[in-house]
């Protein structure tokens, strides 16, 4: 009998060429698929909620696969974690309805982007170290502009395969702690490098290179060349996928 198994996966993206399988390269999808094949004794096709780029982390990537193996979910969890390298951890295994698809059933995805204000040795692989001072008020004002349904062409490096660059952003906020600023964004879909392009441009607002009205002009231009630099991958986390 065919079963559909959902995985929640945490990974440190530092030493991966992203999520998606590529020949000869170390990818998260490849590592997990290979270990699944060992414990299930059959090939599986692991469907991720979406790709993450080289160096991007995940707190809770979601993936699913179908199998006729009868191995129970606790054995899959323990088996995978026993075989996987220590930079990928399976946090949860669940059996779900056959029509569940990690990619197409997703209603929204949430990303976090961590900025460290200054230099840090211990967090260096997991944050963007920003050395200039930031005006949080203008950063927040510019960020409010992206909430709602907009064309994000100015924040997308390659053209979307779906033809449209319109995304519906339901949340876009900054959390501030003593040493960090964390950007949290939830949307129905994300374009390629969208979060990193947004953060790179918002930080230009925060440090005064762009004004809030410049930011609005950039959004309206629908032209990536008008926006700021792409923030580094090491600060970005796929945090949650909602179904």
Q: Where along the sequence are the contacts to a copy of itself (CB under 8 A)?
A: 10-12, 57, 59, 81, 86-89, 91, 118-122, 124, 126
**Distances in whole angstroms, Cα of residue 26 to Cα of each of 10, 17, 118:** 16, 6, 31
Minimal distance, residue 21 CB to a copy of itself, in Å = 19
Residue 18 backbone zone (phi > 0: left; psi -120 to 50: alpha; other: beta): left
Minimal distance, residue 113 CB to a copy of itself, in Å = 14
Active site residue: 15, 53, 68, 97, which one?
A: 53
- The CA angle 223-229-235, to the nearest 5 degrees, is 125
Minimal distance, residue 73 CB to a copy of itself, in Å = 16
Six token digits for residue 142: 């510019």
Give the separation between CA 10 and CA 92, rounded to whole angstroms.
10
Is residue 56 a contact partner of residue 237, using CB atoms and an 8 Å limit? yes
Give the separation between CA 159 and CA 37, rounded to whole angstroms.
34
Going by DSSP bridges, is the β-strand pair 57-67/236-242 parallel, antiparallel, or unpaired?
A: parallel
Minimal distance, residue 154 CB to a copy of itself, in Å = 30
Is residue 53 annotated as part of the catalytic site, yes or no?
yes
Q: What are the residue numbers of the active site?
A: 53
């Amino acid at each position: 009998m065919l079963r559909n198994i959902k995985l929640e996966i945490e990974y440190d993206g530092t030493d991966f060429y992203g999520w998606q399988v590529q020949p000869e390269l170390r990818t998260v999808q490849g590592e997990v698929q290979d270990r699944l094949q060992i414990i299930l004794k059959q090939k599986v096709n692991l469907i991720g909620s979406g790709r993450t780029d080289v160096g991007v982390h995940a707190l809770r990537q979601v993936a699913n696969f179908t199998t006729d193996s009868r191995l129970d979910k606790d054995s899959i969890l323990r088996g995978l974690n026993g075989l996987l390298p220590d930079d990928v951890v399976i946090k949860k295994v669940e059996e779900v309805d056959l029509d569940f698809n990690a990619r197409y059933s997703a209603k929204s995805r949430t990303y976090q982007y961590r900025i460290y204000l200054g230099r840090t040795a211990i967090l260096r692989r997991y944050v963007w170290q920003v050395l200039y001072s930031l005006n949080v008020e203008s950063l927040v004002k510019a960020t409010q502009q992206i909430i709602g349904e907009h064309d994000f062409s100015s924040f997308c490096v390659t053209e979307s395969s779906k033809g449209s660059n319109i995304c519906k952003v339901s949340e876009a906020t900054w959390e501030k702690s003593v040493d960090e600023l964390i950007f949290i964004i939830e949307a129905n879909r994300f374009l390629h490098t969208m979060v990193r392009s947004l953060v790179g441009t918002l930080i230009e607002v925060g440090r005064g290179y762009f004004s809030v009205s410049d930011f609005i002009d950039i959004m309206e231009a629908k032209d990536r060349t008008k926006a700021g630099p792409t923030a580094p991958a090491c600060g970005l986390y796929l945090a949650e996928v909602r179904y």
